[in-house]
């Protein structure tokens, strides 16, 4: 092929590409507008979390079950709807699905920290999920100390409730503060 033929071939190719591009632009814009109409707006970080089935999901180790059931009952008496794994699960339901659904349907999350919960792989997974939701949606994550432990780094960034070795009156006052914080942001 000579130079003139090559030049004409290149110009034709460029013209074809340019024509295809300019034909595509209106279609692309229509598709983009249609997609935007169906895309939900991102959540407003300043908006309060959406109301859900539970006020708070409480993550804990089963070794601390009696203590946590008492804490949950005190929160219920203050008008809160509490999700514990034993409340959210029904016989035959896969554990991971039931807990995940309870966390998803809770406005906020609380983790009861003790040596047993720190050693539990299951509680560690709940911790990661609760922290992620807190970062992404602004939902509260409240660490609750019931025994001496070193809090993980992300949990240390939160003001925690210390229920270790306190009098009954102090315990009740702290539970009231927990309830007020959860209600204020629900």
Active site residues: 126
Q: Centre a 10 Å sphere on the Cβ of residue 116 and count the other Cβ atoms it contains.
A: 18
Sequence-ordered list of residues with C-beta below 8 angstroms from that of 120, at least 6 positions apart, any chain: 61
In the sheet where 161-162 sits, what is the strand order? 82-83, 54-59, 106-113, 141-145, 161-162
Size (the chain), residues: 186
Contacts by 163-168, CB closer than 8 A, 24 or more apart:
163/71
Residue reference for tokens 């946590």: 68
Contacts of 35 (CB under 8 A, 6+ apart): none
Both structure tokens of 186:
């629900």
Two tokens, residue 42: 């991102």
Give the Cα-Cα-Cα angle 179, 152, 103 (nearest 5 degrees): 45
Residue 4 sits at φ, ψ, to 5 deg, of: -65, -45
């Amino acid at each position: 092929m000579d130079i003139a033929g090559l030049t004409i071939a290149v110009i034709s190719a460029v013209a074809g590409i340019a024509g295809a591009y300019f034909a595509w632009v209106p279609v692309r814009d229509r598709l983009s507008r249609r997609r935007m109409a169906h895309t939900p707006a991102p959540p407003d970080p300043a908006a309060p979390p959406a109301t859900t089935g539970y006020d708070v999901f409480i993550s804990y180790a089963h070794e601390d079950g009696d203590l946590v059931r008492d804490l949950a009952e005190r929160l219920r008496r203050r008008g809160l709807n509490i999700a514990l794994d034993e409340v959210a699960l029904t016989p035959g339901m896969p554990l991971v699905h039931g807990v995940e659904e309870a966390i998803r349907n809770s406005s906020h999350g609380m983790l009861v920290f003790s040596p047993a919960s720190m050693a539990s792989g299951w509680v560690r997974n709940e911790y990661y999920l609760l922290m992620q939701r807190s970062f992404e949606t602004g939902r509260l994550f409240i660490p609750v100390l019931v025994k001496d432990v070193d809090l993980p780094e992300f949990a240390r960034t939160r003001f925690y409730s210390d229920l270790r070795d306190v009098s009954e009156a102090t315990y009740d006052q702290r539970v009231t503060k927990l309830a007020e914080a959860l209600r204020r942001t629900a």
